[in-house]
Structure 1
Amino acid sequence: MQIITMVLILLLAVTVSGFIVRLSPVALPLPLIQIATGAIIASFSPFDVSLDPAIFFLLFIPPLLFLDGWRIPKEAFFLDMKPILMLAIGLVIFTVVGMGFLIDWLIPAIPLPVAFALAAILSPTDPVAVSAIASKTPIPPRLMHILEGESLLNDASGLVCFRFAVLAALTGSFSLAKASWTFMLVAGGGALIGIVLTYTINLANRWLIRQTGEEPGVQIMISLLIPFAAYLTAEHLNASGILAAVTAGVTMHYSDLTGHTLAATRMQRRTVWDTVQMILNGIMFMLLGLQLPRILESIEEIAIDTGIASLAHLSAYIVCITFALTTLRLIWVWASLKLTLFGKKGNVADKKSFPRLLLVTAFAGVRGAITLAGILTLPLTMLDGTDFPARDLVIFLAMGVILLSLIVASIALPILAAGFEFSEPVAQINKETVARNAAASAAIRRVEDLYRGISNDQPESLVQMEAAMHVIELYRRRLAHGLRQNGSQSHHIRELDVERQMRIEALRAERDQLYQLRLNRQLDDVLHRQLVHEIDLIETALTKQKQH
């Protein structure tokens, strides 16, 4: 009962924190509000939240990584693969090596393998936290795609490095050659398991759908279970459950492209996964806040056990580690962007934007949910039963870096990103117009085929013909509307936005009238819900178009 009550309190707190951010006259990052809320709950609540590290990792990591792999824009990922790989893999190795030796030198109480473990778990970045911080000053889409791609891969690479460092700390030995070979087997096995398992499940699912029909609720439940199945299967076979979850998400994306999922399933599934993502990220930051009072109370004990003089020294260590992380990231971002986006003559990226791009990318290296989830999985004891060395100190430092990086980014990013533009790749330009025209032409051909198949002998033939001609005319007007601009793409986009907004206002007027009719008892509940649902679907589609 206590656990259920605590879960309900956390869910309520996640909901309240969302309203606080929206009601605040000052732009406050959601993660910081959630951490503060968790700390307040811990101060007044009798509950002691302590999760088994393995269970904590299983509950939070697979669905978040699966969703990252599923939703990341694949074409944008492949177009900017070079800078993404440079940041996601090269920067992780650079950070682990540089920060590992720095932390070991800076804090002698932390053994070198544990220092590498801390460096590894600090290497992944959190795009959700960045999005929350920059929500009122959006980061350019292309740069956000690069940051999302980096986060997707550095989550996996950072966590795998973290596992190896912890293993080295437990066993007291480390072989680079053996670790490299093991990494290849573990990573490759995990990726293969994620692909094969997801493909097999989707294949069986499609066969069942053909036999029984598609039920949205069942399809949503299958999508929720796949990341856990991939993760647990890979871990059981001594492969990387982390990479299995990531590749399962990527495979799910491509499986969706080859399938014919119902529109209702897609809409409901998207809503459910948005909710899952919000809850998991929110609870993870709440848990960080819940740990703060207990950690602050044990600071003196941590300092005594590790031979550190005072809280001021601990705080100084957090500042030094955060500064070093930002500096290493700044150096690597400068080198990687010079070699990729700005290194070749004729690249569409505007070289005048390089300084701001460099700073925004560097300060966007916010540590968040993955770092928190990973650091809490540190084992409590060594193989011989003794306490894991400097465990409380490492957790304290990781949490401090998360907090400080969030605070720094919440101040710096809105200033740096204000009015910042970063050009899209040439291949992306005008693709929307081409795709819309191609889709409209296909729609006209399909309706014309149906029109030719209408028999004049049918009683409803006249109605069907009129309906077909009306639909064809709508699509022809769309084509003419898109083609008559004579290359004026910006004018065309503005015109579409105005038309879209007018349609949204008209739909809202329809819905208001329907509610009025229901209040006047001129509509029954069933018909009212049906009509309102139709309007909601159309408005949702138009709103999504406007956002993109």
Structure 2
Amino acid sequence: MESLFEVVVVLAVATLGAALARKLGVLAPILLVVLGLALSFVPGFPHVRLDPDLVLVGILPPLLYVAALETSVPAFRLNLRPILLLAIGLVIFTAFAVGVVVHLLLPGVPFAACLALGAVVAPPDAVAATAVARRIGLPRRVVTLLEGESLLNDATALVLLRVATIATLGTSVGVGDVAREVLVATGGGILVGAAGVLVFGYLHKRISDPLLDNAVSLIVPFAVVFAAEEIHASGVVAVVVTGLGIGHRMPLLMSAASRLQIGAFWRLARFLLEGLVFLLVGLQLREVVRDLNEPFGFLVAITAAVLATVVLTRFAWLFPVTYLTRLVSRARQRDPAPLAKFPVVLGWAGMRGVVTLAAALALPLTLAQERPYPRQLFVWLAFAVIVVTLVAQGATLPAVARRLRLPPDDPVADALSAAGVQQQASHAARERLDALADTAPKAVVDRLRRGLEERTNLAWERLGGTGRETPSHAYGRLRQEMIDAEREVFRAARDAGRIPEEVLVRAYRDLDLEESLLRQEKKS
């Protein structure tokens, strides 16, 4: 009961922190980490120890799954080359660079152990980068690259960490062993993920009850991870493949009611899990610093060296990869080199998060041989990288993006494309309606034609951009007032005993759905 109370308290604080961040206009991940740092030393506040298994199996899979569900597969495929260069090449490059630097500063520590630390701090966080990028409105392609990188880089880092840990424990690791580990982890993850698409896609298609669809959706990431772990494959890759496949086919697999309910559920789940994750990271400070024995000056020096390596290697990789690869490939023909400001923003968006800390806490307590191994120092270094990159880079990323004046996505081009497709969709709908017109009363057919015409006009209205209220917005404003009036009449009738509660619930449900649609149209 006490542990349940602690979880409720931490969730409540995370929710309040996220609400405060919105009120202050601050990025929630940054505020929650700072809040956790402060609360870690408050006497009596629940001390929730971060369990690596809980993070890697309980928290990361659902967050990756919902991110993959919302990722555009065509955009992901179109940007596959730069995504893989970031998610695989940059992670390996950063891990070896950090390993070399730490080994130079700690020559008595085996290089394999230093490489393990490099693998721990190499991958940017799957939550932090995209949360910040979407919040500040970065261009769509930058967000796609950051999302794609964050979906796959954890798999690269965890495989590299596994290999380095095996070598650290004294087992001889050759090129063949590494290749086999990569093949099993990646290939097995892809196979399990593809199987997840087939199995759970079939279940979603057979299920008509939105509640059951929602329950299956909740089970998917955990089932896929456990299946991958059973064959020692990468659970991260499996979850991402399953999420991409089901998300791409979702309109064909689920009813509209299921999609709406699943979307609402995963928004809530992501909100709670992200808040919990960042708060928990900050709350670990007291435990991380408790057993540190290194001299203060040396601690500052090695921390600064690792931080500088983590930040600079990202830029050192991005600029050559962005421009030199186009000189030796056909990429420049279909994808011209971007302005230098784009790799600058991508480079500054390398925030680390909870996976880094979980991987650090999962490092072995001792080595097989009696060799020096400052595990607690490694945990501190990982923690420092998380806090500094998340707070410093995350807080300044909006200013960097504004200063560089990245060209935003063209809303007129988006609206023009949407209007063109809506025109085609309306034509198809009109043909279908004409073919079925004899099966319904004329008044019903005329009403459907008017609604179709209104949706087409709404798509073209978005191209106006004059600043004046469009007819559709005027309709939404007046209809909202009408809904409020209707809702009040139903409530008064229920209170007076003229209608039962069930009638009120049904009426509210219909009015709520219409109001939700009005709000969505207003946002778009």
Is 2:368 the partner of 1:396?
Answer: no
Aligned to 2:214: 220
CA distance in structure 2 between the partners assigned to 1:329 and 1:541 by the alignment: 43
> In the aligned structure 2, how far is the partner of 1:495 from the partner of 1:475?
25
Give how far 1:269 is off: 0.9
Q: Alpha-carbon deviations, 1:394-417, whole Å to 9, x = none?
A: 111111111100122134311121
Which of 51-60 and 434-443 deviates more?
Answer: 51-60
In 2, Cα distance between equivalents of 1:101 and 1:181: 25
Show the counterpart of 2:439: 453
- Contact 2:109/2:372 (CA < 8 Å) preserved in 1? no
Go from structure 1 to structure 2 and tell me whether the alpha carbon gap of 1:542 and 1:122 turns closer, same or farther (over 3 Å shift).
farther
Distance 1:278 1:70, change over 3 A: same
Q: How far 1:528 sits from its partner (Å)?
A: 4.0
Contact in 1 for aligned 2:323/2:337 (Cα 8 Å): no
Partner of residue 457, structure 1: none
Indicate conservation of the 8 Å contact 1:192/1:244, yes or no.
Answer: yes
| 348 and 94 in structure 1: CA distance in 2 versus 1, 3 angstrom threshold | closer
Please give the per-residue CA displacement for 1:174-209, whole angstroms capped at 9, x wherever unaligned. Answer: 2123211321122101210121133123324534x3
Aligned mates of 2:272, 2:156 — CA distance in 1: 25
- Structure 1 residue corresponding to 2:513, chosen from 537, 542, 545: 537
> Partner amino acid for 2:32?
Q
- Partner in structure 2 of residue 159 of structure 1: 158
Residue 362 of structure 1: how far off its partner (Å): 0.6
Partner of 2:311: 326
CA deviation profile, 1:144-191 (whole Å, cap 9, x unmatched): 111111111212222222222222222443212321132112210121
1:514 corresponds to which letter in structure 2?
Answer: E
Partner residue in 1 for 2:299: 314
Taking the aligned partners of 1:131 and 1:187, their CA distance within structure 2 comes to 23
Residue 272 of structure 2 corresponds to: 279
CA 1:13–1:192: 2 relative to 1, 3 Å: same
Paired position in structure 2 for 1:514: 486
Seen in structure 2, the aligned counterparts of structure 1 residues 139 and 169 have a Cα distance that, compared at 3 Å, is: same
- Aligned runs of 1:38-77 on 2, under 5 Å? 38-42=36-40, 43-45=42-44, 47-50=46-49, 52-77=51-76
Structure 1 distance, partners of 2:226, 2:256, is 30
Which letter does structure 2 place at the counterpart of 1:159? L
Distance 1:120 1:502 in 2: 55
Structure 1 residues without counterparts, runs of 5 or longer: 304-308, 455-463
Aligned residue number for residue 452 of structure 2: 475
Report if aligned partners of 1:95, 1:123 keep a CA contact under 8 Å in 2. yes
Residues in 2 aligned to 1:347 and 1:510: alpha-carbon distance in whole angstroms: 52
Equivalent pair of 2:126/2:151 in contact (CA under 8 Å): no
**Cα distance in 2 between the residues matched to 1:315 and 1:533:** 59
Is the counterpart of residue 31 in structure 1 residue 67 in structure 2? no
Q: Residue 486 of structure 2 aligns to which amino acid in structure 1?
A: L
Matched letter for residue 403 of structure 1: V
Of stretches 473-482 and 387-396 in structure 1, the one that deviates more from structure 2 is 473-482
Q: Say which of 284, 296, 302 aligns to 2:289.
A: 296
Output the amino acid matched with 2:71.
I
1:243 is aligned to 237
1:194 to 2:189 alignment: no
User: What CA deviation, in whole Å up to 9, does each residue of 1:326-363 have, x standing for no partner?
Assistant: 21111221122225689966767685xx2321221110
Corresponding residue number in structure 2 for 1:437: 423
* CA offsets 1:88-107 (integer angstroms, 9 cap, x no match): 22211211222221222133
**In 1, Cα distance between equivalents of 2:241 and 2:386:** 27
Aligned to 1:147: 146
SS of the counterpart of 1:472? helix
1:248 is displaced (CA, Å) by 1.7
Amino acid at match of 1:466: A
1:369 aligns with 2:367: no
The answer as to whether partners of 1:109 and 1:390 remain within 8 angstroms in 2 is no
- Structure 1 position 224, deviation (Å): 1.1
Q: 1:201 to 1:519 in 2, by over 3 A?
A: closer
Total equivalences in the alignment: 515
DSSP 3-state at the match of 2:19: helix
- 2:96 maps to what in 1? 97
Partners in 2 of 1:411 and 1:49 — Cα distance? 26
The 1:441/1:229 distance shift into structure 2, 3 A limit, reads same
Q: Return 388-397 or 85-94, whichever deviates more.
A: 388-397
Deviates more, 1:529-538 or 1:78-87: 529-538
Q: Is the 8 A contact 1:189 1:240 kept in 2?
A: yes
Residues 31, 285 of structure 1: 8 Å contact kept = yes
**Within 1, Cα distance between the matches of 2:415 and 2:331?**
20
Alignment of 1:337-352 (within 5 A): 337-339=322-324, 351=338
SS in 1 for 2:26: coil
1:441 maps to a residue whose letter is H
Name the CA shift for 1:272/1:481 in 2 (closer, same or farther; >3 Å). Answer: closer
Contact persistence 2:51–2:358 (CA under 8 A): no
Q: What is the root-mean-square deviation in Å for CA atoms of aligned residues?
A: 3.2
Letter in 2 for 1:331: A
Q: Is the 8 A contact 2:27 2:395 kept in 1?
A: no
The 3 A distance-change label for structure 1 pair 512 and 542 is: closer
Identity of counterpart residues, as a percentage? Answer: 27
Give 1:460's aligned residue. none
1:109-153 Cα offsets, whole Å, 9 max, x none, are 643222212211222223532344456632122211111111112
